[in-house]
């Protein structure tokens, strides 16, 4: 009796499964009744996002150019102005490239400040006074020699920093162009 009951249950279960499969076998999973509008919607969203990125990048590059003109020659002010620009609407890869470019300017600003200190009148007066004493004492090497060596080293660093600024801006331009931005 138990065996017959078990067989009957198995037959019922098989019929239920067969019946349910029979009704679902003809229906394929469908995202929407008409998938074309959904695809169009996704394409529209992508186009809108691409347009927004292009606009954000174009605006930022224009603001960056204005900042460079307004603060011409003052690397500290240029770097500070760059820090104020809003990257929040830009795509991540552009923002990363721009931040690297900004950091290159900040490094150049530090070098420019160090050069300014060495060229400062107070510094030069102190060095001149030290040189007079050193020469009077018969020194072969003077503070003036040290200052000149430091100036040469800073000039080399400035040249290297200029190269890094140029390279980092090339990357900014490359990413901008990949988003359809027209430069110059």
* Integer CA distances (angstroms), 119 to 97, 144, 151, in order: 33, 12, 9
Q: What is the mean pLDDT of residues 153-168?
A: 94
Most confident of 5-9, 18-22, 99-103, 144-148: 99-103
Two structure tokens written together for 167: 């390279």
Rounded Cα distance between 73 and 108, Å, is 11
pLDDT recorded at residue 111: 93
Say whether pLDDT at 17 is over 70: no
What are the respective helix, strand and coil percentages of the chain, to the nearest 5?
80, 0, 20
Residue bearing tokens 């140029």: 166
> Measured between alpha carbons, how far is 136 from 132 in angstroms, rounded to an integer?
6
- In three-state secondary structure terms, 58 is helix
The structure tokens listed for 92 are 């991540």
Residue 166 reports pLDDT greater than 90: yes
Q: What is the DSSP letter of 142?
A: -
Confidence tier at 105 by pLDDT (50, 70, 90): very high
What tokens were used for 135? Answer: 């020469």
For 40-50, what is the mean pLDDT?
A: 82
pLDDT for the residue 87: 96
pLDDT score of 18 more than 60: no
Convert 61-114 into a string of H (helix), E (strand) and C (coil). HHHHHHHHHHCCCCHHHHHHHHHHCCCCCCCHHHHHHHHHHHHHHHHHHHHHHH
Structure tokens at 105: 């300017």
Q: Is the pLDDT of residue 170 over 70?
A: yes
Q: Tell me the angle at which helices 92-119 and 143-178 cross, rounded to the nearest 10 degrees.
A: 160
**Residue from 93, 92, 97 nearest 82 by CA:** 97
Q: What count of other Cβ atoms lies within 10 Å of the Cβ of residue 60?
A: 22
Q: How confident is the model at residue 107 (pLDDT cuts 50, 70, 90)?
A: very high
């Amino acid at each position: 009796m138990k065996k017959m009951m078990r067989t009957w249950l198995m037959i019922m279960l098989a019929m239920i499964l067969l019946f349910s499969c029979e009704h679902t076998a003809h229906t394929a999973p469908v995202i929407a009744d008409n998938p074309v509008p959904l695809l169009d919607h996704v394409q529209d969203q992508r186009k809108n996002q691409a347009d927004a990125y292009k606009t954000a990048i174009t605006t930022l590059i224009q603001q960056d150019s204005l900042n460079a003109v307004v603060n011409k020659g003052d690397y500290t002010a240029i770097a500070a102005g760059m820090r104020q620009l809003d990257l929040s609407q830009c795509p991540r890869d552009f923002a990363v490239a721009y931040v690297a470019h900004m950091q290159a300017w900040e490094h150049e600003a530090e070098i420019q400040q160090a050069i300014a200190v060495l060229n400062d009148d107070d510094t030069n007066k102190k060095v001149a006074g030290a040189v007079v004493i050193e020469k009077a004492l018969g020194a072969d090497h003077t503070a003036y020699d040290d200052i000149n060596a430091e100036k040469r080293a800073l000039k080399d660093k400035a040249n290297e920093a200029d190269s890094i600024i140029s390279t980092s801006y090339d990357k900014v331009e490359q990413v901008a162009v990949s988003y359809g931005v027209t430069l110059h």
